[in-house]
Amino acid sequence: MSRIITMSLFGIVLAGLSVDASAAYDATAGKSLYESSCRACHKRGIFNAPIVGDQAAWAPRIAKGIETLVEHADLGFTGKNGIMPAKGGTSASTVAIGNTTAYMVEQSK
């Protein structure tokens, strides 16, 4: 009986937790790479890049989840509306790409 109660309480605790995948990234740290590299396209919409701060452009992308956005930014992506070169053409680490993606998402909500 106590095992059932313990498992039930564990399930209740887990159900109450809200896991935010973007919490795995440091958006504040991402600002620097954005300013030095990503801004070139994401400020002007080059290659149809979504402009940071444009909520309408970012909403469907954000809906796909931070992990998908990081993967597309890190590995590159060609969509029907444009392209994202791998790492934006930089040699940034995957962690830096994740942080920068989180920064852009935070600025575009």
Domain limits, the chain? 21-107
Among 22-26, 63-67, 74-78, 90-94, which stretch is predicted with the lowest mean pLDDT? Answer: 22-26
What is the architecture, at CATH level 2, of domain 21-107? Answer: Orthogonal Bundle (1.10)
pLDDT at 20: 57
Is residue 96 scored above 50 in pLDDT?
yes
Per cent of the chain over pLDDT 70 is 80
Is residue 10 scored above 80 in pLDDT?
no
Q: pLDDT category, 21, cuts 50, 70, 90?
A: low
Residues 6+ apart with CB under 8 A from 108: 50, 52, 53, 54, 55, 57, 58, 62
